[in-house]
Structure 1
Amino acid sequence: MSVYIIAEAGVNHNGSLKTAKLMVDSAKEAGADCIKFQTFVAKKIASKNAGKAEYQERQTGTNESQLDMLSKLELSFDEFVELSEYCKLKEIEFLSTGFDFDSIDFLNSLDMKKWKIPSGDITNLPYLIKIAELNKPVILSTGMSTMQDIRDAVQILEEHGLGDITVLHCTTEYPTPFEDVNLAAMKTIKEEFGVPIGYSDHTRGIEIPIAAVAMGATVIEKHFTLDRNMEGPDHKASLEPDELKAMVSAIRNVEISIGNSEKQPAESEKKNMAVARKSIVANCPIKKGEVFTEENLTVKRPGNGISPMKWFEMIGQLAKRDFEEDELIEL
C-alpha cells in the first residue's frame, strides 16, 4: 500500500476561501493524496484568557489573544461545503480536523472518509469518545505526548468501538529542531500498539519525512503554504508548493525502493554480473595435462566462467586441453 501523503493546509489560507482553493490546486499538482484543513469555531476552542504559543507570538505578534488570532483564520461551514466540493472536482481527498463538537458534527455531514485527531486533543476524553463513536478510520497525532498518553487515548478509542487507528509520531514545535524529532519513537509506538505508524512533520525542509518513510511510516503529514512570507502563525514552518512537490516525489521513490526483506539480485543488475564478477583464468599459457597451481591460475573478469569460490577445487587438477593466457579455465 502506498504511503498516504497529507498536504496540511491548516489555517495557511488566512481565512480566505480563494486562497484555500488555490492550496487545493497546489496540493493536487504536488501529487498529495489528501489536503487537510482545520475546522473550528474560535470561541468554542479558546477562552478569552488563552495566550498564544511562543512560535505564534513570533509570527503574529503579542498584541492579540489566541482567540483573536483564531477568529481571523476561521472559514465558515458554508465555505467548507464549497471547499469539499472543490476537492471532489479536483480529485483530491478532502480532510479537515474538527476542533469542537459543532465542527465535528458539521464535518460528519460531509461524509469524510477518515478523521484526524490533533495532538492537542489526545488528552481530551469527551473529544476522543465523540470521534470514536463516528466509527471511521482515525489518524491520531501524538505531539507533546508520553507513551502513557498514547496508551490512554488508544484504549479510549478502542473501548468505544474504534478498530482502525493509525498513530503519527509528532513534535509540536514550529519549526521542530532536528535534535527533537526522535524518529526512533515510531518503532516504539509500532512495537507496543501493533498499529500502522506515520509521522506528522514540523521541521524545515523535506528530508525528515523522507527518512520517516524509510523507517516504516505509512502516513506523512506536512504543512504547506503558497508563500512562506505570508502573515500567519504557521507559514514559516511550512513548505512552499515546489518543495511539497519535491517531497512527494522523493517519498514515492523511497517507498518503491524499500522492496521486501528478501536479498537476491534485482532484475536490472543481473546483466552486470558477468561484467563485474570474476572467473578463474589462465595466468600464463598452460599445456594439456599440466597441473593447475596457484602460479598458473589467477582470477580476472569476466564472471561467466568457473567461480573463484571453487579455487581450491581447481588447484591440483589436470588441464584437459591447452589454455592461452587470460583464457577462461574449463574442466
Structure 2
Amino acid sequence: MKDITIGNRRIGSGHPPFIIAEMSGNHNHSLDRALELVGAAARAGAHAFKIQTYTPETMTLQSKQKDFMILDEGGLWTGKSLYELYQEAYTPWEWHEPIFAACRELGMIPFSTPFDETSLEFLETLGVDCYKIASFENIDIPLLKKVAAKGKPMIISTGMASLGEIEQLVEVITEAGCQEYVLLKCTSSYPASPENTNLNTIPYLRDVFHCQVGLSDHTLGVGAAVASVALGSTVIEKHFTLDRKEGGVDSAFSLEPEEFAALVRETDTAWKALGGVAIGPTKAEEKSLQFRRSIYVAKDIKAGEVLTRDNIRVIRPGYGLAPKYYEMLLGKQMRRDLPMGTPLSWDLLL
C-alpha cells in the first residue's frame, strides 16, 4: 500500500491520520464566521480544511415538484426543496480565496468538493492540492473523468455505492490520470447511527482496491473515527462547527472545537498505540520486572544445604529464576553460602 502526498502531508499507515475539518454550510451566510471556523479548526489541530464549491443552479432545478422536495420524515432538512437547501448551504465563490489564504497562513491544507465542470475549473485557478468527490457524485462518470484528468490526488466518499460502482469509479479515475486516491467509507445519512456505520468495510476496501482508505464520519462524537484508525483509516473527515446551538445546515452532526481537538488527539493516540507485533517485555517495561515473581532465598543457606519449601519462596521481585522451576529446585544443594534475599540462579547449584 503506497503512501500518497497531499500538500505537505504524507498519508499512509506509517503516518498519523490525516484529519479534515469539513465546513459545508456551517458558515451561516457569513464570511466572518467562515474565517472564524478556519481559525478554530487550526487551533483544534486539523490538518486540512474542506469546503464545497457549487451554486444552487449547478446542483438542481428551482422546483417544488415532489421529486425535488425533501420528504424524509424527521430528517434535518425535511420540508425544504433541494434548491432551498443548496441556496442555504452553498459557499459563495468569492469567499474561496480568502478562506484558502487563511487556511494556508495557519498551516492547514485547503481544498474543496467540485460538483460540476465550472466549479472544478474555478478551483484550479486557486491552486488546490487535491479534490474531494462527495458520495452522491461517485457515480457521475463525466465529472470523475474531468477531476481525475487534473492529475491531483482524489479523496472519494463511497456512500451508497455498490462494489461494482466503486470498481468502476476506480477504473475511470486511474485511466483518466489520477494515480493517488483515497476511498472513504461513508454512511450517507445525517446523522449516521453507529449501528449503520459498518467500519469493518474499511479493511475490506483496502484489501480489494490496494489503496489508502479512511472514514467520512457522520456519527455523533469521535468514537467511530477513533475505532476506524485501528481498522486502517489513514484519512478522517468530520463536519465542523463553532457551536451546534447556533444552528447551521450540518451543525447537528458536526463537532465543536473542543470535540474536534479531542478527535485529533485521540486518533493520533490510537495510531501510535497500534505499533507493531510485540510479545514479551519491551524496553520500557524492563523496570517493571521488580513487580514480577521469581525464586528467592527466604532464609540464610549454608554451602551444601538442600533447598526446601522453608528456605526458598516464589516472591516479588522478578530477578531470580522463573517460578516454573520451583519444584525442580527442591532438594538441590547449594554451591556456597547464600544470605536471605539472594535471587536464585543456575550457577549457584552444585
TM-score above 0.5: yes
Deviation at 1:285, TM superposition (A): 4.7
Where do residues 114-263 of structure 1 align in structure 2 (5 Å cutoff)?
114-263=130-279
CA change 1:209–1:129 in 2 (3 A) is same
TM-aligned CA deviation for residue 297 of structure 1? 3.0
> Paired residue for 2:316, among 286, 294, 301?
301
1:42 aligns with 2:56: yes
**Residues 148, 294 of structure 1: CA spacing in aligned structure 2 closer, same or farther, 3 A cutoff?**
farther
**Range 244-253 or range 257-266, more displaced:** 257-266
Q: Distance in 2 between matches of 1:192 and 1:209?
A: 21
Question: Residues 99-144 of structure 1: CA distance to partner in whole angstroms, max 9, x if unpaired?
Answer: 1211111011111111111111111110111111011111111111
Cα deviation, residue 325, structure 1: 4.8
Question: Structure 1, unaligned stretches of length 5 or more?
Answer: none
2:76 equivalent to 1:59:
yes
Q: Distance in 2 between matches of 1:126 and 1:87?
A: 30
Hey, what does 1:18 align to over in structure 2?
32
Change (3 A) 1:191 1:294: farther
3-state SS of paired residue (2:269): helix
- Pairwise CA distance, 1:71: 1.6
Question: Residue deviations 1:11-68, cap 9 Å, x none?
Answer: 111232111101100100100101111110211111234223638x743451x41112
Q: Give the aligned residue type for 2:333.
A: L
> Is it true that 1:319 corresponds to 2:337 in the alignment?
no
Deviation at 1:188, TM superposition (A): 0.8
Task: Give SS of 2:237's match.
Answer: strand
**CA distance in structure 1 between the partners assigned to 2:19 and 2:322 by the alignment:** 47
Aligned mates of 1:264, 1:117 — CA distance in 2: 45
Identity %: 33
CA distance in 1, matches of 2:282, 2:121: 51
SS in 2 for 1:299: strand
Q: Alpha-carbon deviation of 1:178?
A: 1.1
Number of residues of Structure 1 aligned to a counterpart in Structure 2 = 328
Q: Report if the CA contact (8 A) 1:3-1:218 is conserved.
A: yes
For normalisation by structure 2, the TM-score amounts to 0.87
Question: Does structure 1 retain, via aligned residues, the 8 Å contact 2:217–2:238?
Answer: yes
Residues 328 and 265 of structure 1, relative CA distance in 2, 3 Å threshold: closer
Q: Distance in 1 between matches of 2:76 and 2:247?
A: 7
Offset at residue 160 of structure 1 (A): 1.5
Partner of 2:285: 269
CA contact (8 A) 1:41 1:100 kept: no
1:281 alignment partner in structure 2: 296
Gaps of 5+ in 2: 1-14
